[in-house]
Amino acid sequence: MADCLFCKIVGGEIPSTKVFEDDYVYAFRDIEPQAPEHIIIVPKKHMASANEITADNSAVIGKIFEAAAKIAKELGFAEKGYRIVNNCGEDGGQTVGHIHFHLLGGRSLQWPPG
């Protein structure tokens, strides 16, 4: 999508600190980290939000969770634990209209979220 921030990051038009990439997903460090480790994982193919997940495109969501486990192991916080978050829509707090999963780790995370 021409005017999508995360499509531009995936395409390299906007710089990012990449931590992982394969044919399906791209992962990079959040610009405003909320934890010592805060990584954003996105499908390379544009999808606006979790509302657009269907039987035809849901395989990429598995790829995102595979990437999260790999990244957590590589960065060394898998054993201590982490959180994977998807914010969907206005009430969910989504601010970028390209589906993304936050991978947060490196500290003890509180529950429930605000």
Write down the least CB distance from residue 41 to ligand 5GP, Å: 11
Q: Looking at 19, 25, 26, 28, which residue binds ligand 5GP (CB under 6 A)?
A: 28
Q: Which residues make beta-bridge pairs with 43? A: 25
DSSP state of 100: -
Given strand 25-29, what is the order of strands in its sheet? 18-21, 25-29, 37-43, 101-105, 82-85
66's contact among Zn ion, ligand 5GP, none, with CB below 5 to 8 A by partner kind, is none
Chosen from Zn ion, ligand 5GP, none, partner binding at 98 (C-beta under 5 to 8 Å by type)? Zn ion
Q: How far is the CB of 37 from ligand 5GP (least distance, A)?
A: 13
Active site residue 98: no
Q: Please, what is the minimum distance in Å from the beta carbon of residue 107 to Zn ion?
A: 29
User: Helix or strand or coil: residue 72?
Assistant: helix
- Asked if 50 and 99 count as a contact pair (C-beta separation under 8 A), the reply is yes
Give the phi and the psi of residue 15 in degrees, each rounded to 5: -70, 150
Per-residue mark of binding to Zn ion, 1-40 (x: CB under 5 A):
x--x-xx---------------------------------
Residue with tokens 């595979």: 66
Contact positions toward Zn ion, by CB under 5 A? Answer: 1, 4, 6-7, 46, 98
The residues that are catalytic are 100
